[in-house]
Amino acid sequence: MDILVLATDETVIASVQVKTRTYGADGGWHMSVKHESIIQQPCFYTFVDLEPDVPVTYVVPSRVVAEVLRVSHKAWLSSPGRGGRAHRDHDLPRIVPNWPFAVEGYPNGWIDEYRESWALLAGAVGTPGDAPNG
């Protein structure tokens, strides 16, 4: 993890892994297949987009990231690649705000509900913290 969030008594209440991007046609972030299995209640990812004039951060629970990676990677594998050829499997999935193919349960713009959702970190203690407003 890149950041540990501490309570006033210095106990760890959340851990955060930071992913940044500056340029890229799909507006996404590189991940690893290992992120498909990181599902920990007080663990979050911050996806930072440095491309706009004012950087934007999306705060997403690890459970959501793992599910999005699994579902989107499966959808990518089943969608046709260049020239209609099948995609070759790899260990570097991506988190993107908009898919060039259908991803069940995660329509284009799915990540917007996590935009600047810093309150999720405060909700990590004693609450599920799986939804942006809860």
Question: 108 in a domain, yes or no?
Answer: yes
Question: 132 in a domain, yes or no?
Answer: no
96: containing domain: 3-122
Q: What is the pTM of this model?
A: 0.83
Question: 128 in a domain, yes or no?
Answer: no
Question: 112 in a domain, yes or no?
Answer: yes
Question: 94 in a domain, yes or no?
Answer: yes
Question: 109 in a domain, yes or no?
Answer: yes
Question: 127 in a domain, yes or no?
Answer: no
> Which sign does the torsion angle of CA 100, 80, 39, 47 carry?
negative
What local confidence, expressed as pLDDT, does residue 89 receive? 86
> What is the per-residue DSSP string for the chain?
--EEEE-TTS-EEEEEEEEEES--TT--EE--GGGGS---TTEEEEEEE-SSSS-EEEEEEHHHHHHHHHHHHHHHHHSB-GGGPBPPP-S--EE-SS-SS--TT--TTGGGGGBT-THHHHTTTTS---STT-
Q: What is the pLDDT of residues 66-93, one digit of tens each?
A: 999 999 999 988 888 888 888 888 888 8
Instruction: Quote the number of domains for the chain.
Output: 1
**In this structure, what token pair is assigned to residue 33?**
């297949």
Q: What is the pLDDT of residues 89-127, one digit of tens each?
A: 888 888 999 988 889 999 999 999 999 999 998 777 654
Instruction: State phi, psi for 93 to the nearest 5 degrees.
Output: -70, 170
Q: Is the pLDDT of residue 132 over 70?
A: no
What local confidence, expressed as pLDDT, does residue 125 receive? 61
Q: What is the pLDDT of residues 15-57, one digit of tens each?
A: 999 999 987 778 889 898 888 888 877 899 999 999 888 999 9
Q: Is the backbone of residue 83 left (phi > 0), alpha (psi -120 to 50) or beta? A: left
Question: 12 in a domain, yes or no?
Answer: yes
Q: How far apart are CA 8 and CA 114, in angstroms?
A: 25
Q: Is the pLDDT of residue 64 over 50?
A: yes
